[in-house]
Amino acid sequence: MPAKLFDSAACALAVTAQDGAILQANARFCEWLGFSAAELYGRRFQDLLTMGGRIFHQTHLAPMLRLRGSVTEVKLDMLHRDGHKVTVLLNGLKREQADGVVYDLALFGTTDRDKYERELLNARNLAEALLQEKTATELALKHAQAELSEAYAIAQRRALFAEQMVAIVSHDLKNPLTAIRMASDFLSRGERSAKERQLLGHIAQSSERAQRMIADLLDFTQARVGHGISIKVAPLDLHAVTQQAVDELRVAFPKATLEHHTVGSGDASLDADRVQQIIGNLVANSVAYGDLQRPITITSQLGDGGCSVCVHNHGAVIPEALLAGLFEPMTRGTEQGSDVRSVGLGLYIVRELARVHGGDVAVRSTVQDGTLFSVRFVPGEV
């Protein structure tokens, strides 16, 4: 190599004799170790190493150079003139000359490489830690899912048991309530004082209210636990059925003003008892939550597109947030009127009865127009 290229090379270069004596060193080699070329000339390369480096040189590096003729990227610790350690990567090559064997040594600094290796090791450790955390999280999630599934299954069994118990109790209450109603009717036929008639009236109203609640509970359990609410469809005059329901409801709710409007004419194929149950539940809801100083309007409508029954009342608007779940069981629009309908199944039963008739129910409630429940029945869907 020309002397100029040797001296100005970017790496540290040195040429040593077979015993390690330095024959030549470039400027970078001198700079890294803090010696001048004259000071290095004749010194043995291994004497510039740390104690560990000298042992390695004697046991591995020198024998490999003699036997194999070359070494590649051997990491060594050398000593600077002031005593601090300089870590290098050494490449060595054995070269035959006329006057003997020499070794060409090329040394590269490891600062950047060590930094890269440390960063790589840190990244690997971080990745392993993240993998362990991910694995632990997945295991925890699986355990949580298993516990949740088990809790859900238990809750389902408890809910089913509760609904079955409601069905049994509701069914068993029908007979004593019927007996109370019959006894009240029988006693009211005789001569009674005003106070006795008032008490008998309260008994009749309370037993009727209890029977309506039990009917709702039985329908609820039939829809949830059984095979769905059953209906018996037959041709009927929707207006006449609605008028009969309104007449009976006027007796049940004497404080309310009920108005029946009719639209269109013709027959429909529906279950008359269930239609009256729908109207009764919607009117009872209007009595509970509406303004009784203003009339409750029941509209029966027949047309080519099907038939419907609508119940409208004035009163407090139903909040928008409650409208979506209004027809779910045990749901209330407001706390107002809670003493009138305590079970919270009326609107749920209305929806189920509408659906089993092939239709559905909708509600609209605004401050200006009040609250309107619309039950639509679709011809041919039953």
The predicted structure's pLDDT at residue 244:
93
Q: Are 310 and 301 in contact (CB under 8 A)?
A: yes
In this predicted structure, which of 42-51, 75-84, 113-122, 226-235 has the lowest mean pLDDT? 113-122
Please tell me the distance from the alpha carbon of residue 107 to that of residue 356, in angstroms, as a whole number. Answer: 90
Domain ranges within the chain, ordered by starting residue: 3-109, 115-224, 234-377
**Res. 334: pLDDT tops 60:** no
Average pLDDT, the chain: 84
In this predicted structure, which of 120-129, 182-191, 205-214, 258-267 has the lowest mean pLDDT? 205-214
Half-sphere exposure of 189 (CA within 13 A, CB side): 5
Model confidence at 337, in pLDDT bands (50, 70, 90)?
very low
The predicted structure's pLDDT at residue 187:
77
Q: Which CATH number is 3-109's, of 3.90.190.20, 3.30.450.20, 1.10.238.10, 3.50.50.60?
A: 3.30.450.20
The predicted structure's pLDDT at residue 341:
44
Task: Identify residue 32 by its one-letter amino acid code.
Answer: W
Model confidence at 327, in pLDDT bands (50, 70, 90)?
confident
The predicted structure's pLDDT at residue 338:
45
Please indicate, yes or no, whether the overall pTM of this predicted structure exceeds 0.85.
no
The predicted structure's pLDDT at residue 175:
63
Please tell me the distance from the alpha carbon of residue 359 to that of residue 380, in angstroms, as a whole number. Answer: 10
Is the CATH number of domain 234-377 3.30.565.10? yes
In three-state form (DSSP H/G/I as H, E/B as E, the rest C), the secondary structure along the chain is CCHHHHHCCCCEEEEEECCCEEEEECHHHHHHHCCCHHHHCCCEHHHHECHHHHHHHHHHHHHHHHHCCEEEEEEEEEECCCCCEEEEEEEEEEEEECCEEEEEEEEEECHHHHHHHHHHHHHHHHHHHHHHHHHHHHHHHHHHHHHHHHHHHHHHHHHHHHHHHHHHHHHHHHHHHHHHHHHHHHHHCCCCCHHHHHHHHHHHHHHHHHHHHHHHHHHHHHHHCCCCCCCCCEEEEHHHHHHHHHHHHHHHCCCCCEEEEEECCCEEEECHHHHHHHHHHHHHHHHHHECCCCCEEEEEEEECCEEEEEEEECECCCCHHHHCCCCCCCCCCCCCCCCCCCCCCHHHHHHHHHHHCCCEEEEEEECCCEEEEEEEECCCCC
**Res. 33: pLDDT tops 90:** yes
Model confidence at 9, in pLDDT bands (50, 70, 90)?
confident
Q: Which CATH number is 115-224's, of 1.10.1740.10, 1.10.287.130, 3.40.50.300, 3.40.50.2300?
A: 1.10.287.130
